[in-house]
Amino acid sequence: MIVVTGGAGFIGSYFLRKLNEQGITDITVVDVLRSAAKWKNLVGKQFSEIVSKEEFRRRILAEESGAEIEAIFHFGACSSTTETDADYLLDNNYAYSRDLALFAVKRGLRFIYASSGATYGAGENSYSDDVFDDLRPLNMYGYSKHLFDLWVRRHGFDSQFVGIKFFNVFGPNEYHKADMASMVYKSYHQVMQTGKIRLFKSYRSEYADGEQQRDFVYAGDAAEVIWRIWQEPSIAGIFNLGTGKARTWNDLAASVFHALDRPVEIEYYDMPEALKGQYQYYTKADVSKLQASPANVQFRELEDSVRDYVQNYLHPERRYH
């Protein structure tokens, strides 16, 4: 049996589809649905059961599960970069992850978990996945992920686990994420409603408005990397999962307009004061370790990824993967 935490979420449900496509259906989905629309991400997918995070955590702490589990894919987390409840993030993103990790160690299970590019902060100490002690995350979400990476390394578990530092992933099944949905998703709806896309102004002289840069990754490429990691048991360590290319917000906006065959019209507006101190002006994953591994894939260009997402999943109506 495979366990996928966050299995109804964005990356989790995308990978769930990947498992089904490979004929794997004996899967326990762990997630908290509540009133969010992410239950729709599970429609059409095959799995054995769905349990809440609280119930699954109770089971592993009581050692009521495990003999039949082959691997745990731990994608469940609070991914909000604006969440300010530090105690909640520490429990949900750090302590819960630690509980799962110790369970996996005790049972000898493969453990593949989601970290984040947010651990790098402003990138002043590089974006290398071999650098840890000098990182300075800009928000509590990034810090909670960084703490777990440090815990994994401190106990030597990076020699058997795989941690994946996701950069800016976008694509189908993110519809429930509200303010945390990708800018591709938001931009599409802005164009359909107003005919233009709004981007933050820059407050650093070395970046013109809209020229701030990110490493954008399509969800399908991310799922393929995860699959290849699982297929190669020798892979262990903490890896960046990005394209290794930094593209501007202007590039992304133009890609959305082109996918819709509309003229480019961008409006720049003031960044909220609360974001100015934690805004990343530049991210680019150092993917040399990933490229040297059996999990390396040929990432799609931003324009091709945006076109596929917009034309095949967003327009004229949202479609799930």
147 within domain boundaries: yes
Q: Please report, for the domain that includes residue 266, its CATH number.
A: 3.90.25.10
Q: Please report, for the domain that includes residue 119, its CATH number.
A: 3.40.50.720
321 within domain boundaries: no
> Are 189 and 95 within one domain?
no
Residue 277 in this model has a pLDDT that exceeds 90: no
- Mean pLDDT, the chain, rounded, equals 96
pLDDT tens profile 5-36: 999 999 999 999 999 999 999 999 999 998 77
11 within domain boundaries: yes
> Are 159 and 174 within one domain?
no
In the chain, the number of structural domains is: 2
> Are 153 and 6 within one domain?
yes
Contacts of 88 (CB under 8 A, 6+ apart): 78
Q: What is the 3-state secondary structure (H, E, C) of 211-228?
A: CCEECEEEHHHHHHHHHH
Distances (CA, A) of 309 to 49, 174, 219, 259: 29, 11, 10, 9
Structural domain span for residue 70: 2-168+216-242+285-299
319 within domain boundaries: no
pLDDT tens profile 111-168: 999 999 999 999 999 999 999 999 999 999 999 999 999 999 999 999 999 999 999 9
> Are 67 and 163 within one domain?
yes
The residues assigned a catalytic role are 141, 177
> Are 120 and 230 within one domain?
yes
260 within domain boundaries: yes
> Are 115 and 31 within one domain?
yes
> Are 202 and 270 within one domain?
yes
